[in-house]
Amino acid sequence: MHKAKVLPGLVAASLLCAAAPVLAEEAHPLWDLYQQSFKAAKYIDLTHAFEPNMPVWPGFGHAKFKAGVAGADLGDYASKGDEFTYEKHGFVATAYEIPTDQYGTQLDPPSHWDPYGATISDIPASFTLRPLVVIDVHEKVAKDPLYFATVDDVKEWEGRHGMVPEGAVVMFRTDWYKRWDDVEGFGNPPFPSVALDTLKFLHLERKILFHGHEPLDTDSTPTLEGEAWLMHNHFAQAEGVANLDQVPEAGCLISIGFAKPKGGTGGYARYIAICPSDWKYGVSVLEEPGAPLPKQEYPLKRDADGVMVPTKP
15 is a domain residue:
no
- 118 to 206, 217, 281: CA distances (angstroms): 22, 19, 35
Let me know if residue 260 belongs to a domain: yes
Does residue 129 belong to any structural domain of this protein? yes
Q: Mean pLDDT over residues 204-211, rounded?
A: 98
Average pLDDT on 276-290 reads 98
- Region 82-108: mean pLDDT is 97
For range 86-112, the mean pLDDT? 97
The predicted pLDDT at position 9 comes to 45
The answer as to whether 5 is a domain residue is no
Residue 180 lies in a domain: yes
- Which residue in 173, 147, 187, 181 sits closest to 273, CA to CA? 173
Is 246 within the bounds of a domain? yes
Closest CA to 253 of 169, 142, 157: 169
pLDDT band, residue 13 (cuts 50/70/90)? very low
Residue 178 lies in a domain: yes
Q: Which residues of 165-181 are buried (b: 16+ CB within 10 A; e: fewer)?
A: beebbbbbbbbbbebbe
Residue 136 has pLDDT above 80, yes or no: yes
Q: Residue 86: its pLDDT value, please?
A: 98
CA dihedral (284, 285, 289, 295) in degrees, to 10, reads: 20
Average pLDDT over residues 185-202: 97
CATH number of the domain residue 159 falls in: 3.50.30.50
Whether residue 284 lies inside any domain: the answer is no
What is the number of domains present in the chain? 1
* pTM of this structure: 0.91
pLDDT band at 8 (very low <50, low <70, confident <90, very high): very low
Question: Does the pLDDT value for residue 16 go beyond 50?
Answer: no
Q: How confident is the model at residue 15 (pLDDT cuts 50, 70, 90)?
A: very low
Percent of the chain predicted with pLDDT > 70:
92
What is the percent of the chain with per-residue pLDDT over 90, rounded to a whole number? 91
| Model confidence band, residue 25 (pLDDT cutoffs 50, 70, 90) | confident
Domain range for 163: 100-275
Q: What is the pLDDT of residue 21?
A: 52
Cα 111 to Cα 10, 38, 107, 121, 228: the distances in Å are 63, 34, 11, 11, 11
Task: Report the relative pairing of strands 148-149 and 193-194 from DSSP bridges.
Answer: parallel
124 pLDDT higher than 70: yes
> Is cis: bond before 292, omega within 30 of 0?
yes
